[in-house]
A and B are shown apart, each in its own frame.
Chain A
């Protein structure tokens, strides 16, 4: 199973084979939830709170129930009386108080858009019409919008049962930070803020639920990222006997569809059970923007103890997370940082103090690398601050702190064992390819003409393959129900000699089908054109799924690739054993290649694979004793290497994830000090994501992730007014840039293959979204350095940049800049 085997010559891995998915997308044959129709289908619509914080005194749905076409109505009161609350899972690890969270707002609403009732009707428009007839008697309450105000003693409580809006408050300390700060030459103190943004997948949440009362069986087809979250959520809340979860093609996810979506699957299922017909619910854009989940606004206070040469001896991070109006994801932006706590650096003493604060805003969800972009922002801004204060080169400060190539495998102070990397090598390549000296002279020349150019950089790791026990490292009781990761795959050789794969993870645009077929082709030594993946992408009744079945955690590259490889090796061995029996030639003398069974020496084609396959299913007399007939194999993969902190240690040390990609991002920007607009002139990524299975797939994901990070840095984001109303419910209001406003991105690959994955592959997907925020901030700060500006907060939209410029000029006594 391991890549410890001698390096093999790869035929299909590393090539841009023809996509398995894109032909159906370009021809309109995608299989998204909303594309599916079943007989008797009814349509749901959801009534949502217009208030950020209000008590629900009563709901009257009588008129709506009588409205034309309406089949059933469910109110939050009915949800309370007929369902159970969700259990607080590992995304709320460390919550000291058990809080009941139902699929709808019960008792009070805590954010604009929180569901309070739902209608199912024969047509969607009729369901939407009926929403207007539901009367909700609200008693508005004062809202807490800002998470620092929410921490004040007399702030209104979002959850009374918690007694405070600070619902999680934990400190993890690795090494001795106090001593490190004491021993350092300089202490760099900074405060940083990263704002609330989102991934705004083009396809909103979607669900189609059917309930069979005779079998007490619920079937849901939805576009969620983690089947377990949906399955367990339905089981906990509805207590139904049998639950089948299928995941259709997912129209973009990015973490957004992991968690909050479970509420809506429960609501749709309730409606289906109540009206006795299959029910489809499709969220609309406004609903998604206001209530589909946001990333977490995170504020940090940082103290770095530094030696004069830039070496960081210790870092203390105090973090305050604005987690919005729910507790079920309260600590995920804190715990996820444990996968990347020291980033690329060999710092031995690190403390992370985390507070999760509830507010009357949309709940946070895992969003494109969950907290790691903000953690990277902290590290990289601190590196730039050290360079600034100690008058060192920003590249040199990173170099002196990087984990060295000969230190891998490297055990970090928080218990992560990094598999492979050459961080200095990435920095060197970046420095050469980006031509820092050349850009700096262009910068000086431009400045002489009143133009502000800046060059910045940031580096980060991208951990891959989640350890399911990670988040419990902050829980007091350390009850660990899951650890590591397990996921499976099935392969079958059809009687015509083609192969079909059944995968166990939803696909949301990461080309799982293409990639899995390349891996299967490699092992089975047959063309990927003869291999296909059975759809839908996930079906709990068919897929060989385990805890690692998740379009999340960068799991696919480790667990699914490992499972496909394992299943195909089992199948290949079986095929050889059967061929050997049929041909009366020892298996060791046979090989499989391109549809035929060959004698190795002298090389001679003996029989077609299709013929062996046909016999395996139809003639038991050729099947030798002890060999199971049929050419099908299922393999469950688990991470096969010893891991010192697979289970969290008492000190909180834990292996967060298992493979560690890395990247250096370089940005060259021009800042227009009059308008505050930032133009990205050049953007380069130097990447190590291990062995690349499909170059265009990998590049595509990196382009997209980096573009999102750049755009988040430069202004896209969610905005609330002081009363708690969300102002960003459309793409343009939210500030999503178009193709025209998205910069070109260059990529250089410099892989350090993992010695601990099937083919040396490491994670890719979210990675480029991690350092992009910091790289842009670094470049903007560098551009405005002549004005004395330093960048501590995102986003850097035009207003914010103008404010930085104006503040600097007021400080300098030169007056505010002239408006345009």
Chain B
């Protein structure tokens, strides 16, 4: 199968590239564009370290081919901060120590961001079930849950002001 030309918008910037049809979206982002925020922990959609937003939907970018992303708009963890200031979800993870080794963190932050768009005031039960697709081996999840709760408060305050 011959290589394909794709055009994607990543974090507001448009890229065009020729890719092998079998190339994964996460590989395209990491190797071709040099955006190494999305991590590869399993390549079969179990761990969630490569989670990002594709046309506003949360996807695991190891389960998407680069060619499938043609014409889409993608937000990765690198696209969240503005002018060097962390997004409230990112800031909440920093304050609540919602990360240890940091390998799952970019995916966790993206999944949390998506969750809070759908559920601005999630219960702990909602957080735990909606983030069940993102694995972490370090934290036992306690401080991740706290981070998401803190992010909900911070986003609520930002909304109010």
Q: Which residues of A contact B (CB under 8 A)?
A: 16, 18-19, 21-30, 32, 34-35, 37, 125, 199-204, 249-254, 282, 284-285, 508-511, 696-697, 699-701, 703-708, 730-732, 736, 738-742, 744-745
Known contacts A23-B94, A28-B106, A202-B135: does B101 contact A250 (CB below 8 Å)? yes
Q: Is A739 in contact with B134, judged by CB distance below 8 angstroms?
A: yes
Across-interface contacts of B9 in A (CB, < 8 A): none
Q: Are B105's CB and A22's CB within 8 A?
A: yes
Residues from chain B with Cβ under 8 Å of A125 in the complex: 20, 22-23
Let me know if A707 and B141 touch, CB within 8 A. Answer: yes
Check if B120 is an interface residue, CB within 8 A of chain A. Answer: no
List B87-139 residues whose CB lies under 8 Å from chain A: 90-91, 93-106, 109, 127-129, 131-139
**A26 with B106: CB separation less than 8 A:** yes
Nearest-CB residue, chain B, relative to A743 = B140
Instruction: Determine whether the beta carbon of A202 is less than 8 Å from that of B128.
Output: no
Q: Mark B137-151, 1 if CB is under 8 A from A, else 0.
A: 111111111000000
Interchain nearest-CB distance for B17 vs A (Å): 14
A730–B140 CB distance below 8 A = no
Interface string of B71-94 (1 = CB under 8 A from A): 000001110110000100011011
Residue of B39, B109, B132 with most chain A CB atoms under a 10 A cut-off: B39
Q: Is B39 a contact partner of A511 (Cβ separation < 8 A)? A: no
A509: chain B residues at CB < 8 Å are: 99-102, 138
Residue with the highest number of chain A CB atoms closer than 10 Å, among B39, B78, B97, B132: B97
Q: Which of B23, B47, B94 has the most chain A CB within a 10 Å cutoff?
A: B94
A802 CB, min distance to chain B CBs, angstroms: 24
Query: In the complex, what residues of A have CB within 8 A of residue B134's CB?
Result: 739
Contact across chains for A508 and B101 when beta carbons are under 8 A apart: yes
The CA-CA distance from A134 to B25 in the complex, in Å, is: 29
| Chain A residue contacts of B102, Cβ below 8 A | 21-22, 24-25, 30, 249, 251, 509
14 contacts between A and B (CB under 8 A): A27-B77, A27-B80, A28-B78, A199-B137, A202-B103, A202-B135, A203-B101, A251-B102, A252-B103, A252-B137, A509-B100, A703-B142, A707-B141, A739-B128
Q: Is B54 an interface residue (CB 8 A)?
A: no
Chain B residues contacting A249 (CB-CB under 8 Å) are 101-102
A residues in contact with B106, CB < 8 Å: 25-26, 28, 30
Q: Is the CB of A202 within 8 A of B140?
A: no
- What residues of chain A lie closer than 8 Å to B34, measured between beta carbons? 37
User: Which residues from B are CB-within-8-Å of A24?
Assistant: 102
With a cutoff of 8 Å between Cβ atoms, the chain B residues found around residue A250 in the complex are 101
User: Using a CB-CB cutoff of 8 Å, which residues 10-32 of chain B contact chain A?
Assistant: 20, 22-23, 30
Measured in the bound complex, the distance between the Cα atoms of B127 and A202 in whole Å is 21
CB pair B44 A704 closer than 8 Å: no
Report yes or no: B100 in contact with A732, Cβ–Cβ below 8 A.
Answer: no
A27 CA / B90 CA spacing, docked (Å): 7
Report yes or no: A731 in contact with B132, Cβ–Cβ below 8 A: no
Report how far A700 CA is from B101 CA in the complex, Å: 11
- Residue in B42, B77, B94 whose CB lies within 8 Å of A22: B94
Known contacts A27-B90, A285-B41; is A22 also within 8 Å of B98 by CB? yes
Shortest Cβ distance from residue A1 to the other chain B in the assembled complex, whole angstroms: 29
Find residues 21-78 in chain B having any chain A CB closer than 8 Å to their own CB: 22-23, 30, 34-44, 46-47, 49, 76-78
Q: Enumerate chain B residues within 8 angstroms of A732, measured Cβ to Cβ.
A: 46
Smallest CB separation, B6 vs chain A (Å)? 17
Closest approach, in angstroms, between the C-beta of B137 and any C-beta of chain A?
5
State how many angstroms separate the Cβ of A713 from the closest Cβ of chain B. 14
Say how far A535's CB is from chain B's closest CB, in angstroms.
13
Q: Given that A125-B22, A285-B44, A708-B140 are contacting pairs, would A25 and B131 also be in contact in the complex, using a CB cutoff of 8 Å?
A: no
Per a CB cutoff under 8 Å, which of A30, A703, A744 touches B139?
A: A703
Contacts A27-B77, A27-B81, A249-B102: A35 and B36 contacting too (C-beta < 8 A)? yes
A706, B140: Cβ atoms closer than 8 Å: yes
Q: How far does the alpha carbon of A253 sit from the alpha carbon of B100 in the complex, in Å?
A: 11
Whether A696 contacts B20 by the Cβ 8 Å rule is no
Bound-state Cα–Cα, A284 to B47, Å: 13
- Most chain A CB within a 10 A radius of its CB, from B41, B44, B98, B131: B41
Interface residues of chain B: helix, strand, loop or mixed (majority)? loop
Assess the A700–B97 pair: CB atoms within 8 A: yes
Which residue of the partner chain, among A26, A203, A254, A707, contacts B94 with CB atoms under 8 Å?
A26
Complex CA gap A508/B101 in Å reads: 5
Query: In the complex, which residues of chain B have a beta carbon less than 8 angstroms from the beta carbon of A708?
Result: 137, 140
Contact partners of A703 in chain B: CB under 8 A: 139-143
Q: Which residue of B lies closest to A199 (CB)?
A: B137
Are B97's CB and A202's CB within 8 A?
no
Q: How far apart are the CA atoms of A252 and B140 in the complex, in Å?
A: 13
Give the chain A neighbours of B91 by CB distance below 8 A.
26
Whether B129 and A740, one on each chain, are in contact in the complex, defined by CB atoms closer than 8 angstroms, is yes
Is B35 a contact of A28 with CB atoms below 8 Å? Answer: yes
Closest to A251 in B: B103
- B residues less than 8 Å from A201 (CB atoms): 101, 103, 137
Query: Are B93 and A26 closer than 8 Å at their CB atoms?
Result: yes
The smallest C-beta distance from B125 to any residue of chain A, in angstroms, reads: 9
Let me know if B94 and A285 touch, CB within 8 A.
Answer: no
Q: Which residues of A contact B131 (CB under 8 A)?
A: 739
In the complex, what distance in Å separates the CA atom of A429 from the CA atom of B101? 32
Residues from chain A with a CB closer than 8 A to the CB of B49 are: 202
Q: Are B97 and A22 in contact (CB under 8 A)?
A: yes
Q: Give the residues in chain A near B136, CB-CB below 8 Å.
A: 202, 704, 739
Flag if B77 contacts A28 (CB, 8 Å): yes
Question: Which among B41, B80, B103, B140 is the interface contact of A704 at CB below 8 angstroms?
Answer: B140
On whether A26 and B97 interact (CB within 8 A), knowing A707-B140, A731-B135, the answer reads: no
- With contacts A21-B102, A509-B100, A696-B96 taken as known, whether A200 is within 8 angstroms of B76 at the C-beta atoms is no
Residue B99 contacts which of A22, A203, A204 (CB distance < 8 angstroms)? A22
Q: Are A704 and B137 in contact (CB-based, < 8 A)? A: yes
The answer to whether residues A511 and B20 also contact, given A18-B94, A252-B138, A708-B137 and a CB cut-off of 8 A, is no
Residue of B nearest to A746 (CB): B142
Nearest B residue to A282, CB-CB? B40
- A30 engages B97 (CB within 8 Å): no
Which of chain A's residues have a CB closer than 8 A to the CB of B95? Answer: 18
Whole-angstrom CA separation of A21 from B95 in the bound complex: 12
Q: 11 extra interchain contacts, Cβ-Cβ under 8 A, other than A28-B35, A252-B101, A285-B44?
A: A19-B99, A22-B99, A26-B90, A27-B77, A253-B101, A285-B47, A701-B100, A704-B136, A736-B137, A739-B132, A744-B142
The reply to whether B140 and A26 contact each other, CB–CB distance below 8 Å, is no
How distant is B142 from chain A, measured CB to nearest CB, in Å?
4
Minimum distance in angstroms from B115 CB to a CB of chain A: 11
Q: Assuming A696-B143, A704-B137, is B43 touching A285 (CB within 8 A)?
A: yes
Q: How far apart are the CA atoms of A722 and B84 in the complex, in Å?
A: 56
Do residues A26 and B128 form an inter-chain contact, with CB atoms below 8 A?
A: no
Q: Are A26 and B138 in contact (CB under 8 A)?
A: no
Contact call A742/B140, Cβ cutoff below 8 A:
yes
B86 touching A27, Cβ below 8 Å: yes
Query: A28 touching B76 by the CB < 8 A rule?
Result: yes
Do B132 and A740 touch (CB < 8 A)? yes
A251 — which chain B residues lie within 8 A by C-beta?
Answer: 39, 41, 101-103
Given A21-B102, A28-B106, A739-B134: A699 touches B44 (CB 8 Å cut-off): no
Task: Determine how close the nearest CB of chain A comes to the CB of B22; give it in whole angstroms.
Answer: 7
Contact yes or no, A731 B35, CB < 8 A = no
Q: Which 7 A-B pairs have the closest CB atoms?
A: A28-B37, A509-B101, A25-B102, A707-B140, A251-B103, A509-B100, A703-B140
| Interface-centre pick from A18, A30, A744 (highest chain B CB count, 10 A) | A30
B100 — nearest CB in chain A belongs to which residue?
Answer: A509
